[in-house]
Amino acid sequence: MVPHWASPFGRDADPITQLMIDEELRAAGVRRPVNPIGIGWAGPTLMYAGTAEQKERWLWPLLSGEEFWCQLFSEPGAGSDLAALTTRAERDGDAYVINGQKVWNSYAHIAKWGILLARTDPSAAKHAGISYFVCPMQAPGIEVRPLVDMTGEHAFNEVFFTDVRIPADHLIGAEHGGWELAKVTLGNERVSLSGEAARVAARVAARVAVLSSPASVTGSSRYGSRVRFCGSCGSAPYRPFWRGRLREQRRRCARPSPMHTGSTS
């Protein structure tokens, strides 16, 4: 799932190896778990700051898609200015007690875990008094209210916290050190979202080009080189060391074309 992560969760893969793994899995039709917030930005933050126990507990089911994650950052008065957040977390014995409200929380209604920012020191400067938690979404005192958008789709939610107790060992990193981790999360969020947008745009562009050409079309491969795409099925020819995949393409292409002989790249 995440070849670039360190072992044992990934393979420390360099960028080219990552692309090759991606392409091979796609060509083989392997469906990968859907858990965008978990895999895209909660996971990398846990890799960065989680203890060995926290990584072992949360990362495996996160990667398999077994446990879905959401993000509990934005508030009605804290969007672009995220450090203005007012949701409180107060230490009480072996737990933190959470009170406040979050908003725009994608898929909070189906998530098992949420990454939560809450203020643990209201007397500190606003970036300094925030802590980062993993929040069990089924904990008593959590109310998830749907925000249905104008297309009728329900992805966003408001999440209300009333005396929600989160075990103290769900704190990630240092108490009051949450802003540093928020930046790790947001950095990964930007990369994940822009990567996904680029993939969708590339797929659409390739498809449009194929649909407007009966034979074959020229475009840029994801490696930057100019290649010709099959005018029938839209796939790019594989390189010689992926010859097994050429046979698979020929078999799947509705109108087998010379593109799949491997001689046209």
Ligand X SMILES: Cc1cc2nc3c(=O)[nH]c(=O)nc-3n(C[C@H](O)[C@H](O)[C@H](O)COP(=O)(O)OP(=O)(O)OC[C@H]3O[C@@H](n4cnc5c(N)ncnc54)[C@H](O)[C@@H]3O)c2cc1C
Positions marked catalytic: 189
As a whole number of Å, the CA-based R_g of the chain is: 23
Task: State yes or no: cis peptide before 8, omega within 30 of 0.
Answer: yes
State the helix-helix crossing angle for 243-252 and 15-27, rounded to 10 degrees.
Answer: 30
Query: Which CB sits closer to ligand X, 9 or 73?
Result: 73
- Name residues whose C-beta falls within 8 Å of residue 24's C-beta, 6 or more positions apart in sequence: 242, 245
Would you tell me which residues interact with ligand X (CB under 6 A)?
Answer: 70-74, 79-80, 104-106
Rounded distance, CA 38 to CA 68, Å?
7
